[in-house]
Chain A
Amino acid sequence: DVKVTQSSRYLVKRTGEKVFLECVQDMDHENMFWYRQDPGLGLRLIYFSYDVKMKEKGDIPEGYSVSREKKERFSLILESASTNQTSMYLCASSSSGVQETQYFGPGTRLLVL
């Protein structure tokens, strides 16, 4: 079975802190994605990566950056956390191809105070 793990299920941070969210997949997938999930808005894509060191902005990249130094690991970085970044963050991975299924991690619920 494909497994996508996220470093934390819950995080509480202060405004202005730098926050790192880690995601690891074990299926040698080329693509990895970071989404945020908010009630009534569904999932919105923050960034995705289609290869090591390659990344593209999604629909809401402002305030975020990403890093993919190894194929299995994709990190989301909040450079200076703000209260409006309180949300559920979901990581996903997939093989290359528009028809491929995305496999999701369990999510990290981030609260910024």
Chain B
Amino acid sequence: AQSVTQLDSQVPVFEEAPVELRCNYSSSVSVYLFWYVQYPNQGLQLLLKYLSGSTLVKGINGFEAEFNKSQTSFHLRKPSVHISDTAEYFCAVSDPGGSGNTGKLIFGQGTTLQVKP
């Protein structure tokens, strides 16, 4: 079965500093990879996704992620964070199981990014 591991449960960082949120997945087949963000008291929204092609994926709000097949990683980065980036971030991998083309996802445990002034 596929699984996703987010290596840090909390990442504190000062405003305008760079940040990396780490994500590793286990899969023996081709996968699609996603990063979602959850701002306080809201549902999740998509930051970016890797489907194929260039291993560097750019998303919204200045975030980017790099797909590394040999290391089965999909780390999320931002060169300079803002207070408004304080949120919980989830890495997810597509799960091809189930009926039809369901688009099921397997989520990691989440990483809380705390941006301090």
Contacts and interface: CB of A to CB of B under 8 A. Distances in A.
B32 A50 contact: no
Nearest to A97: B101
Query: For chain B, what secondary structure do more than half of its interface residues adopt (helix, strand, loop), or is it mixed?
Result: loop
Interface residues of A, number: 32
Interface residues of B, number: 28
Nearest to B50: A99
Interface stretch (B12-20, B40-48, B61-69, B77-85): B40-48
Nearest to A4: B43
A106 B107 contact: no
A104 interface: yes
Interface string A50-77: 1100101010000000000000000000
A101 B49 contact: yes
B94 interface: yes
Name A's interface SS.
strand
A48 B107 contact: no
A40 B51 CA distance: 27
A94 B103 contact: yes
A100 B108 CA distance: 18
Contacts of B41: 106
B71 interface: no
Contacts of B99: 50, 54, 56
A103 B98 CA distance: 20
Contacts of B94: 98-99
Report the 8 A-B pairs with minimum CB-CB distance, sorted nearest first: A104-B43, A43-B107, A42-B109, A42-B107, A104-B44, A98-B94, A106-B43, A101-B46
